[in-house]
Amino acid sequence: MRKFIPVDELARDGRFEKLTMAGGMADARGGRNASSDQSRRSSNRISPNRPNASDGARSLMHGIFVGEIQALEGAGRTCWDFTDDEAPFALKLDMARQCWDEARHVEISARLSDYMGTEIGEFAENTVLFEAACSRDPLLRLAGVNRALEGLAIDVFTTMKEFGETAGDPVLRFSEDWMLADEVTHVKMGSDWLRRLTDNDPERRKNALEFQRVVDKLFSFGGTRSESEESPIGLARRFRELAGFTEQEIDDVAEVSLNSLHETAAERAKSRDDARGAFAETTNH
């Protein structure tokens, strides 16, 4: 049986990054083909007028469904795992409220998936959100899950809501809008508690924000989410502001995401050059 190692221990020496990278989250072979896409259109943003739009949206919705289950499990664990000294009772009450929201999101996203013609289990998923939710430190759970991952949920739901708007699909648009309102609240809980719990402990706050940055980078998925039109998912600045992110923090996420996009583009270009070189060598013999 696999030995369970809390995610903050893995993050400390970079193993978390390697683990999730090896798990295919940043596999440059997957997802978009940025350069060839670009030659045909000016934007890669997920939109109904693209030929593969429905598969992209279905896959995203399936990922949301799985993420909602993990967010529900994670918030539930935080209510149970800690004494009131380790995590204040009022924080646990917030997490209990979050469980209620996430349970509703599981139902909404399962039904939306069905509505979009997807079978549950049709797409491969990972369990990184749950692993981040298993940290031994409640503060790291707030930083990694509520701020980094649910911050990403804000970006994804905003993009999906716009997708529903453009496609003229009120079911998708309203469902995403309702879930988005809850996620802004969950991220705000993370922002408020992170500040409250580290009011007199700048070192602890610094470590938590560092962990958040690691998770943010991992979940940039090679630039799938950024402010560039080359990314399928945008960065929802206004909703992040409402969720307690400062302008500087939003700029930081934007920068990490954009760097990730450029790194992936460079990796793809290198892979193409290597393949070209290998092919040329074969044909020369």
Query: Rounded to 5 degrees, what angle do the CA atoms 163, 105, 133 make?
Result: 110
Output phi, psi for 283, to 5 deg. -75, -20
Q: DSSP for 121-148? A: TSS----HHHHHTT-SSHHHHIIIIIII
Q: Which of residues 218-257 bind Fe ion (CB under 5 A)?
A: none
152, 254 contact by CB (below 8 A):
no
Binding range to Fe ion, per CB under 5 A, among 46-54, 71-79, 87-95, 197-205: 71-79
Least distance in angstroms from the C-beta of 135 to Fe ion: 17
Least distance in angstroms from the C-beta of 150 to Fe ion: 5
CA–CA dist 275, 35 (Å, integer) = 16
Q: Is residue 45 packed enough to be buried (19+ CB in 10 Å), middle (13-18) or exposed (0-12)?
A: middle
If binding means CB under 5 A, how many residues of this protein chain bind Fe ion?
7
Least distance in angstroms from the C-beta of 71 to Fe ion: 5
Least distance in angstroms from the C-beta of 19 to Fe ion: 23
CA–CA dist 73, 41 (Å, integer) = 40
Residues 19-58, mask of contacts with Fe ion (x by CB under 5 A)? ----------------------------------------
Which is nearer to Fe ion, 109 or 228 (by Cβ)?
Answer: 109
Q: Is residue 268 involved in binding Fe ion (CB under 5 A)?
A: no
Least distance in angstroms from the C-beta of 202 to Fe ion: 28
Least distance in angstroms from the C-beta of 78 to Fe ion: 12
Q: Which of 94, 131, 137, 150 forms a contact with Fe ion (CB under 5 A)? A: 150
Binding range to Fe ion, per CB under 5 A, among 17-25, 36-44, 65-73, 252-260: 65-73
Q: Which of residues 159-198 bind Fe ion (CB under 5 A)?
A: 183, 186
**What DSSP character marks residue 253?**
H
Which is nearer to Fe ion, 19 or 143 (by Cβ)?
Answer: 143
CA–CA dist 26, 151 (Å, integer) = 19
Tokens of 65: 């469904």
CA–CA dist 38, 32 (Å, integer) = 10
Least distance in angstroms from the C-beta of 173 to Fe ion: 17
Which is nearer to Fe ion, 115 or 279 (by Cβ)?
Answer: 115
Q: Is residue 94 involved in binding Fe ion (CB under 5 A)?
A: no
CA–CA dist 138, 194 (Å, integer) = 9
Which is nearer to Fe ion, 105 or 188 (by Cβ)?
Answer: 105
Q: Which of 140, 55, 128, 141 is nearest to 98 (CA)?
A: 141
Least distance in angstroms from the C-beta of 188 to Fe ion: 11
What is the largest distance, in Å, between two alpha-carbon atoms of the chain? 72
Which is nearer to Fe ion, 50 or 105 (by Cβ)?
Answer: 105
Q: Is residue 240 packed enough to be buried (19+ CB in 10 Å), middle (13-18) or exposed (0-12)?
A: buried
Which is nearer to Fe ion, 19 or 189 (by Cβ)?
Answer: 189
Conformation bin of residue 31: beta by default, left when phi > 0, alpha when psi is -120 to 50? left
Q: Is residue 105 involved in binding Fe ion (CB under 5 A)?
A: yes
Residues near Fe ion (CB under 5 A) are 68, 71, 102, 105, 150, 183, 186
